[in-house]
Amino acid sequence: MGHHRIDRSFTYNSWNRDFPSRICIESGDTVTIQMNDASDAQVHSKMTVEEYKLIDRSKIHALTGPISVAGAEPGDQLKIEIQTYEHEGWAWTSIVPGLGLLDEDFEEAYLHIWELEGEQTRSMPGLTLDLNPFCGIIGLQREEAGEFATRPPGPFGGNMDVKHLVAGSTLHLPVFVEGAGLCAGDCHAAQGDGEVCINGMEAPMTVTLRVSVIKNAPLEGPYIVTPGQLVSPRYAAKPFHAFVESDADPREACKRVVRRAIKYLMNRVGLSREQAYVTCSVVLDLKVSQLVNVPTTTISGYLPEAIFD
């Protein structure tokens, strides 16, 4: 089996099945993919919020690829085994007015730069957060002709932001075009389920994948086999704080959960409202606790005790 490398000297900011492949690999080969952060290298580790306001948002997200896999054709599956991630020592999380779960609560832009030290970051006062790197985007070229924005995910994968696409996980995706057209990007050093402020810990990163074709195996949509430990082992060793809200509108229940978690972080360790919101985005896990008591849905937000110093 061969090994290949593809650098980030050229990236795409959309899906288009007519984009030419940058490399072609054989089924069973491994490939190391170098990726820009979500801003396509516009954000840097010394950036100010005033500079951040000026970035070109048409460049979000940055995709490295496409990678053509020999023998892949419609009706097949691509099996993508995630082997390793390597970050570059920093990440960013922002608040953008008009975006995110609490879009009506924050009127000013905010930017937080994280320093990543091995498998943790201590860049938020009073907190130590574990890193669990993953690709926010792994996808194949879409069936439809034309150019499409990267934000919506779909059966092809894409911007799923499933935080359990960590090293050791395997992702299966349906193939829609000859060669599959694998692309990856939007790496997060950590993220809570919900990614509530609009970002996880956005980071430039390198991922190594083993890619195999499963012939004549139609698949309705993405399917993941992930390690059984769904939270950091250090987090699992201590209790979790759960904020619970119910509403006929699940989104409104989510908003109330996050607002309560923000208040908790502010009161406990003295974070600003903005700091608490971005912390929720990278560590608070939103869960659907029940949806059978029609019309009410119950949402719970889990915050690990282990993050507090």
Residues 6+ apart with CB under 8 A from 210: 28, 29, 30, 80, 81, 83
Residue 184 CA from chain centroid, whole number: 11
Between the CA of residue 289 and those of 116, 137, 263, 264, 298, what are the distances in Å?
33, 26, 22, 21, 5
| CATH architecture designation of domain 3-225 | Sandwich (2.60)
Between the CA of residue 53 and those of 71, 149, 219, 228, what are the distances in Å?
44, 21, 41, 40
> Of the candidates 283, 301, 28, which has an alpha carbon nearest to the alpha carbon of residue 130?
283
61: amino acid identity, one letter: H
Identify the pLDDT of residue 80: 98
122: amino acid identity, one letter: R
Q: Identify any residues that bridge with 157 across adjacent strands, giving them in sequence order.
A: 139, 154
The DSSP letter of residue 20 is: P
CB 204 within 8 A of CB 40: no
CA distance 205 to 88: 6
38: amino acid identity, one letter: A
Between the CA of residue 135 and those of 60, 207, 289, what are the distances in Å?
14, 8, 26
CB 37 within 8 A of CB 204: yes
CA distance 94 to 293: 36
Identify the pLDDT of residue 229: 80
Domain 233-307 homologous superfamily, CATH: Acetamidase/Formamidase-like domains (3.10.28.20)
Identify the pLDDT of residue 250: 98
CA distance 131 to 44: 19
Any idea where the domains of the chain sit in the sequence? 3-225, 233-307
Per-residue pLDDT of the chain in tens (309 residues, 90 and over written 9): 899 999 999 999 999 999 999 999 999 999 999 999 999 999 999 999 999 999 999 999 999 999 999 999 999 999 999 999 999 999 999 999 999 999 999 999 999 999 999 999 999 999 999 999 999 999 999 999 999 999 999 999 999 999 999 999 999 999 999 999 999 999 999 999 999 999 999 999 999 999 999 999 999 999 999 997 888 999 999 999 999 999 999 999 999 999 999 999 999 999 999 999 999 999 999 999 999 999 999 999 999 999 999
